[in-house]
Chain A
Amino acid sequence: MMHPYELRLSHFQAMVIFALVISIAFGFLSRRGAYKRAKYILWSFILFLLIGVGIGWAMYPFSR
């Protein structure tokens, strides 16, 4: 039975939420100014996703 509070996220959803939250936190901690922060957050978010998907595909041949 599923707990009333229990969340079920797909792999991709979990990765996107993780990447977004961490990118925003890193952007605010490491940069000053709205433009620099936005640029850093966007780049970091895109790289998180690309590298995550890339590692996923790199592991694909060994998954079976």
Chain B
Amino acid sequence: MPDEVPVAETTNAVPLPQAVSTYPEPTQDRHRRDALALTIAAAAWFLPGLGHALLKMWGRALVCFSAVALLVILGAGMRGNIFSRNGEDAFAKLGYVADLGAGSFYFVAKALEPTGPDVSHANGDYGTRLLATAGVLNMLAALHAYEVARARKA
């Protein structure tokens, strides 16, 4: 056909830069990134702040570590209840999951309470809440580190 012209001469389209390419990521790279993200999440759970430190997010790492450490020290100091694996009811089991969220700090809290909990006063009850909060906060931080490692969040 005489009217037909090459496409390159009729379009002003600019080639897409590499960063916004719509091509899917190779499966091997995706698997590697997923494995790395899971490792970072496990590290973040085990030692609060370590996940963000591995991602070179120093401020967040320091804050996560300090916040969880402070909550555990206060909670144990107020003689809050540290739940064990042999919980009698659903609340005790949930409390164990929340406390275990603090990773290695769960054992730090146990070591800081040689005489055991005392929830006969409101003080001990508040301590229980602070310990559970430390665990849940650390799980949230680990999830954040996982999402960052998977490049879903900044």
Contacts and interface: CB of A to CB of B under 8 A. Distances in A.
Interface of A: 3, 5-9, 11, 14, 17-18, 21-22, 24-25, 28-29, 32
Given A14-B123, A28-B64, 16 more contacts: A6-B77, A8-B78, A8-B123, A9-B78, A9-B126, A14-B126, A17-B74, A18-B129, A18-B133, A22-B67, A22-B137, A25-B137, A28-B59, A28-B63, A29-B140, A29-B144
Given A21-B67, A24-B63, A7 B130 contact: no
Contacts of B59: 28
Contact of A3 (B115, B122, B137): B115
Interface in B63-121: 63-64, 67, 70-71, 74, 76-79, 112, 115
Contacts of B123: 7-9, 14
A29 B141 contact: yes
A21 B67 CA distance: 6
A6 B70 CA distance: 14
A25 to B, nearest CB: 4
A19 B67 CA distance: 11
Interface residues of B, number: 25
B74 A5 contact: no
Contacts of A29: 60, 63-64, 140-141, 144
Contact of A21 (B71, B122, B154): B71
A25 B78 contact: no
Contacts of B71: 21
Contact of A25 (B77, B126, B141): B141
8 cross-chain pairs, A with B, having the tightest CB-CB distances, nearest first: A7-B77, A25-B67, A28-B63, A14-B126, A21-B67, A7-B78, A28-B60, A29-B144
